[in-house]
Structure 1
């Protein structure tokens, strides 16, 4: 076991030697392939995989590969999720990592289901009016940093359900960070969006800019984060105490304090994972399992589906009229969801949650939806302004026993607070931006055009901000049918709902369910955003002109969106109508075929065996 303060921690020259020492502990097959497998079924062939014993679908194929290899070596879905999450924190660091937080739904083959809330929390020194007079301080910089929770949550899930040794799950990412990995086109795209912030931060520039500092690194060039490699090596051998009660945490806090932040070692020591009961609902003949508050994603998705189910499936949800009904349902859900918040702080959350998953509540809402028109925000009863949470990363995993994990993680904006801790190599979140803040210098008032901010989501020390993340597991007749979720901030609710409707409502195949162009609406502003973009991989996604014209005739204001959400889907398909009685030749109960899809919008690919 490594000492708490190893002498090499200040000497990056010795990191390659450290990796050589660790090399015998990691098999070459644990490490990801340099390139995705060749396309097998047409243009998007490498975005879909069919397997029997396990599938991992992530935003980056290298992390799917690492997760798949964990399954092949006897690990279960939770083990694979831990390994894949560490990998994403290295190769997709603009979206997630141990400097952020996450929500994870675990459903074991035994039927046990748990919701792991590893959401970031406000620091002890935080206060409701800490951003009065300068709201920009909560969107980036040291005061935007909340207490990270992802690492604690991964460890807690592994302690309860994991099979393989902890270090076995972390070490592949130690090598990725220390020996280097090829920069993906999508990560480069994210870097270009905030290039000035990267050059302005010593830690970010040291990893993502060239040695001369003259430009950002380009796709295919090697990125190394040797400080992060050392940090992950400590975590591999010592567990999470090095982060929450040890040298990593002290160094991290020291870096934040030097920049003027309020994060403390006490904040880290006091962080606790919340293991909650998932929210669930029976809709369209399926049982859906989702994340409870402080995530609004599960409840909002269930509310939308309960409304749409009343129109009849598939006819009532198909075609341009089905899109109109979806948008109207989205607007209602976004109005109600802002009454949710951290249940440890906000009163009335349970009643709001109960309404949102109630078919009777949905039936009353449906009465206010008209097929020939749309309305302004007041019609939907929204009392509060929306929060605009940002980028994320999602993982969907099913193993050979049909244990399942849906996990969505985030550092919020691209590269979070736009700060990489130079001592630890960790990209820090800006999750404080997901809190609502009082307007007008401390009062709650809004104005005629914009509702006031939601008090249930005001900053409090130790509080978790509201989220749109929606990791979801779907069952039918007690059998696992799908694991799904998406990345993309507030648009996650729309995307996860649309993928569900495409597959279970409209009967699309898994790949088509993910590929179908999407629409988004968040109530405020009162505009429909529709996909109209060519990705960095030269794939074009656009909502059909016929649909757009139909929506405009009903009064919708449309705006094209050169971006969108990224979905990861794993489904279990059964033959014929004998889902409960499929038998192998030896007479034992058979599992269905697993099909995994990684959204080509971000360039990921799934892996299975």
Structure 2
């Protein structure tokens, strides 16, 4: 029996596309019964759906989508980056996979500082030294080995075909390629990847022959096709050409890690999310617990009281993030203390309805017994009810914008996610300290928040987003939109979002229309600084309601939901 027919309300991601057209308009919620895929590019969604229809499970589809996105979404889809996976089987215990990048063995704490101890501008963003050891390929191989059903080669082949035969580019991708032409030229002397004499146009065919050859190595040789042999030699040669640090030994020594999920409750809902070195899971649960006892449903979506409580919760949680979160293999992360209800309640006690709490008055919290010592997302659900939530990234758009010569893929700039110097913000404005300092072999802290939600023991939602520091708040608000404000999946994804991250002390809204003039006026009178910063995240999510899968594909990009 189809398990979805026995469920009440759920959110699911499986191989399902909402629209196969080139474009990104996404207004109506799509509904399916057998499976769904929601991801950032229509061709990749189609690849995932095809795998599900061939009898593949959610993990099989996730592997195929990951490699397809490495071709069709070069801004963030990748084989040169890393990410996190949350997996909930239809039967059995949930699991999470950490395939985050790692600092090379040659990395050092002060590597991005000059002789005077100041951070060198852009060194952690647009140089060969900006790249951590990639984890995506090992992550997919590890996930497939444990949970996959179909043959490995059959999951990689669709990406090979997309790279070799080419695919039609959307308006978004054309614009992104055009805006980055000068950077590609400057950072890639002697290479012609993504360069074009005339501007890229919607519908142009993008062919990537070198990337196709790299994917063939991965298809035929598995892990050795990337971390050893020809591709590894190309990657290390690229490093040497720009004084990069990744060595052949770094590649051989890289392995993804299965970690115990962070699991918590919000009212009647069970939240299954990612543990450190993702900061997202802990922060998400802290945020949900912080607002749980306030009558958000009565106040309403984006009303002044709702916004004020959410902002004050976000302010305190991001302060905690700056001190306590890092790679648990290197730093004692006080997970239990951070998630203790009494601690979270205490953090909100100095919240004052009459005025904003200045961020310079908010410090990371303290508790007894503690010893101090960035992206794209896709959600998948298969016919059996297995679900996968994966967020993967190169960090900045197109990563470091440096290609591996001959191999055709982009390098990440994840080293910027470390704290180069205590108190100095990274490209997303996030500050950090000792917990996230650079050390050889260490995984950099992340905001990625792939999440699965249950209700009454049944799958309810699969959700996640890219967006740097806004990832956590985008996932948080999307969950609230469904649970508290009775929005369907597409409405919850479409809804305008706002963001506060402690420092800088400002409430960032997407457009002037995110909040009404009356709400903005009330908040400003209380001392809240409100700025317009543009689109926040690109949420891809699945909800199950009355036995039906609802897709939510973010209209801020080319995101597409497909199903059957």
TM beyond 0.5: yes
Of residues 13, 16, 20, the one that matches 1:36 is: 20
1:359 is aligned to 2:344: no
1:183 aligns with 2:169: yes
C-alpha separation between the residues in 1 aligned to 2:365 and 2:130?
Answer: 26
Could you say which residue in structure 2 is the equivalent of 1:374?
Answer: 356
2:535 counterpart residue number: 563
Shift of 1:177: 0.7
Could you list the structure 1 runs, at least 4 aligned residues long, displaced by more than 6 angstroms after superposition: 31-35
TM-score normalised to structure 1 length: 0.83
CA distance 1:527–1:156, shift in 2 (3 Å): same
Q: Please tell me whether Structure 1 or Structure 2 has the larger radius of gyration of its CA atoms.
A: 1
- Partner of 2:552 in structure 1? 597
CA contact (8 A) 2:18 2:30 kept: no
Q: Deviations over 1:412-443 (max 9, x none)?
A: 1111111011211111100001000236xxxx
1:280 lines up with 2:274 in the alignment: no
Gaps of 5+ in 2: 1-14, 115-119, 367-373
Once the two structures are superposed, the pairs formed by residues 9-28 of structure 1 within 5 Å of their partners are: none
Q: State whether structure 2 residue 186 is matched by structure 1 residue 200.
A: yes
Which residue matches 2:68? 87
User: In structure 2, which of residues 221, 227, 241 is the aligned counterpart of residue 258 of structure 1?
Assistant: 241
Structure 1 unaligned regions, length at least 5: 1-30, 385-389, 534-540, 575-591
- Provide, for residues 530-580 of structure 1, a one-character-per-residue CA deviation record: whole Å limited to 9, x for no partner: 0118xxxxxxx6433232222212211111112321000101112xxxxxx
2:311 to 311, 327, 332: 327
1:316 Cα shift? 5.1
1:98 and 1:151 in contact (8 A); partners too: yes
- 2:107 corresponds to 1:126: yes
2:371 alignment counterpart:
none
Cα distance per residue 1:56-103 (max 9 Å; x no partner) = 000112111111111110001001111111111111011120100010
Structure 1 Cα separation of the partners of residues 339 and 188 of structure 2? 47
User: Do the aligned partners of 1:308 and 1:317 also contact (CA within 8 Å) in 2?
Assistant: no
Aligned partner of 1:226 among 178, 197, 209: 209
- Are the aligned partners of 1:248 and 1:424 in contact in 2 as well (CA < 8 Å)? yes
1:336 to 317, 320, 327: 320
1:106-185 alignment runs, 5 A limit: 106-133=87-114, 134-185=120-171
1:431 aligns with 2:386: no
Q: Deviations over 1:126-147 (max 9, x none)?
A: 1011111124211111010110
Check 1:376–1:98 CA distance in 2 against 1; reply closer, same or farther (3 A cut). same
Partner of 2:8: none
Deviation at 1:219, TM superposition (A): 2.5
Deviation at 1:485, TM superposition (A): 0.6
TM-score by length of structure 2 reads 0.90
Match of 1:496 in 2: 475
Q: 1:573 aligns with which of 545, 558, 564?
A: 545
Taking the aligned partners of 2:37 and 2:16, their CA distance within structure 1 comes to 13
Contact 2:347 2:365 (C-alpha < 8 Å) held by counterparts: no
Change (3 A) 1:453 1:179: same
User: What is the correspondence of 1:188-587 to structure 2 with a 5 Å cutoff?
Assistant: 188-202=174-188, 206-210=192-196, 214-315=197-298, 318=301, 319-338=303-322, 339-347=324-332, 349=333, 351=334, 353-382=335-364, 390=374, 392-438=375-421, 453-532=432-511, 542-574=514-546
Alpha-carbon distance, 1:37 to partner: 5.3
CA pair 33-435 structure 1, distance change in 2 beyond 3 A = closer
Q: Confirm or deny: 8 A CA contact 1:123 1:267 kept in the other structure.
A: yes
Cα offset, 1:445, TM superposition: 9.4
Report the Cα offset of residue 401 of structure 1.
0.9
C-alpha separation in 2, matches of 1:123 and 1:144: 10
Q: In 2 relative to 1, CA 375–192 (structure 1 residues): closer, same or farther, beyond 3 Å?
A: farther
Paired with 2:352 and 2:30, the residues of 1 have a C-alpha distance of 41
- Measure, in 2, the Cα distance between the counterparts of 1:206 and 1:497: 41
Distance 1:519 1:66, change over 3 A: same
Counterparts in 2 of 1:501 and 1:204: CA distance versus 1, 3 Å: farther
Q: Is the 8 A contact 1:60 1:88 kept in 2?
A: yes
Alpha-carbon separation, structure 2, partners of 1:476 and 1:114: 18
Residue 166 of structure 1 contacts residue 236 of structure 1 at CA under 8 Å; is this kept in 2?
yes
Task: Report the equivalent of 2:35.
Answer: 54
Query: C-alpha distance in 1, partners of 2:94/2:337?
Result: 22
CA distance in 1, matches of 2:268, 2:299: 16
Structure 1, residues 383-409: CA drift from partner, whole Å, max 9, x if none? 99xxxxx4x100011111110000000
Tell me the residue number matched to 2:7: none
Label 1:481 to 1:544 Cα distance change in 2 as closer, same or farther (>3 A).
Answer: same
- The total of aligned residue pairs comes to 533
C-alpha distance in structure 2 between counterparts of 1:411 and 1:336, whole Å:
25
Contact kept in structure 2, 1:255 and 1:423, CA below 8 Å: no
- Asked whether the equivalents of residues 430 and 469 of structure 2 are also in contact (C-alpha less than 8 Å), the reply is no
Contact 2:168 2:203 in 1 (8 A): yes
